[in-house]
Amino acid sequence: MSKKKRMKNRMTRAERQKLMRKRRRKRIALLVAEVLILAALCVTAYGIFKLDKLDFNILNDKNLEAYKDTGPYTNIALFGLDSRNDELDGGVQSDCIMIASINNDTCDVTLTSIYRDTLLQQKDGTYEKANSAYNRGGPEEAISLLNRNFDLDIHNYVSVNFTALVNTIDLLGGLELDMTAEEADWCNKYAVETAEVAGKDWEDIEVKDGTQKVDGVHAVAYARIRYTEGMDFKRAERQRIVLEKTAEKAKKANLLTLNKMIDEIFPMISTSFSTQDLLGFAANALNYNIVQTGGFPYQVTTREDVRNHEGSYVVPIGFTNNVTQLHRNLFKEDSYEPSEKVTQINDDIIYLTGVTEDTDAMNTTFEGDISNEGAQ
């Protein structure tokens, strides 16, 4: 196809704005792990004087359904919220769900994205998409969903709304991202709504293959793209790329930049961590190192014919095997045996979907994603 014809096929900025406004407002996938790192860095620099800007939320530990202790690891639930009116404690979808597992001995961090459309057991025993739990019962129910389905012992969380990530990246001076021309084109399309919600001005980036310097609007737009090869699975990888690059730049930020981050971003964060907890993270802030990223389920397919359900769902192929792989990745644990609850969920998913261990798996591993090594 000639360059002239390709240019003709691309929508103008005005056309994109018109198209995006006609569409139902899409949920925005967010990145939140860097917020924990930023909080620790800011506490290190400024003490506890501005921590009152955070939304502290005390959870009832009895409601979290925590499984047995996982040893020298701190496990944290990270939620990116489809929040347009600053709702942080429930009533909104968690469109980005991650588990951060910190090895307290080495400061190594493993990040695992939970695909938001994954069919999982809810508090009432029914099965729905993973991202619905936060909407139903806030962070308590969202954490209990992770503990119940994956035999985990998560007790704390960090949640952040959409605008926080845009502002974070802008304050850090933007990011350099490698992308294809197709991704760049979609990035411009997603930038329309992203800029509108964040209250930011924006301009198109160049549609080309290669490295591009992007602002917060386009970095988040890049993380939202799902209509390329890999769909939602590739989007989860993009989220982790933006997360890692944001964390890298945050570690090098000067005190003035960190102070601005506190003032602008802290009000957009909700957490169950106490001041003492944050000070503990601050002591090791510069030592944290993201050593592995990945997406759950590892062996996966999709189904639009789930019994008594409507819509498309991400379905694990062999739920118990996937949970076993999760424990191996998070805790380097070879002795894990799935609980009765996990075994029951495995059987329920087979009944609801017809997906067994013999079902063909989709490809969810892409260039630059080290997440699924050993998950074959």
**pLDDT score, position 299:** 93
The answer on pLDDT for 352 being more than 90 is: yes
- Read off the tokens for 322: 């996937």
The predicted structure's pLDDT at residue 185: 94
Which CATH code for domain 1-297? 3.40.630.190
The whole-number pLDDT of residue 49 equals 63
Residue spans per domain, the chain: 1-297
| Res 76: pLDDT | 93
Paired strand residues for 289: 108
User: Does residue 87 surpass a pLDDT of 50?
Assistant: yes
3-state secondary structure of 4: helix
Give the C-alpha separation, 307 to 309, whole Å.
5
For the ranges 11-20, 71-80, 86-95, the one whose mean pLDDT is highest:
71-80
Residue 204 and residue 189 in contact, taking contact as beta carbons nearer than 8 Å: no
Q: What percent of the chain has pLDDT over 90?
A: 43
What number is the average pLDDT over the span 185-189? Answer: 93
| pLDDT above 80 for 350 | yes
The whole-number pLDDT of residue 69 equals: 87
Q: Which residue has the higher pLDDT, 291 or 89?
A: 291
Read off φ and ψ for residue 308, nearest 5 degrees. Answer: 60, 20
Average pLDDT over residues 118-137: 94
pLDDT for 246 = 86
Distance CA 260, CA 355 (A): 49
Per-position b or e across 25-45, b if 16+ CB within 10 A of its CB:
eebbbbbbbbbbbbbbbbbbb
Residue 371 has pLDDT above 90, yes or no: no
Residue 21's pLDDT band (cuts 50, 70, 90): very low
Amino acid at 254: N
How confident is the model over 270-314, as pLDDT tens digits?
Answer: 889 988 888 777 777 778 887 888 889 999 999 999 999 999 999
- When pLDDT is averaged across residues 158-164 and rounded to a whole number, the result is 79
What confidence tier does 230 reach under pLDDT thresholds 50, 70, 90?
low
- Please tell me the predicted confidence (pLDDT) of residue 82: 62
Q: What percent of the chain has pLDDT over 70?
A: 79
Confidence (pLDDT) at 90: 59
Distance CA 316, CA 142 (A): 19
Tokens linked to 79: 């939620």
What pLDDT shows up at residue 149? Answer: 98
Those residues whose C-beta lies under 8 Å from the C-beta of residue 254, and which sit 6 or more positions away, are none
pLDDT: which is higher, 290 or 187? 187
Residues 34-63 have pLDDT tens digits of 454 455 445 544 545 677 777 888 899 999
Query: What is the reported pLDDT for 83?
Result: 61
pLDDT of residue 365: 53
Mean pLDDT of 350-373: 70
Q: Is it the case that residue 27 has pLDDT exceeding 80?
A: no
- Given pLDDT bands bounded at 50, 70 and 90, which one contains residue 142? very high
What Å distances lie between residue 63 and 60, 66, 78, 247, 269, CA to CA?
A: 6, 8, 18, 32, 22
Mean pLDDT of 89-116: 84
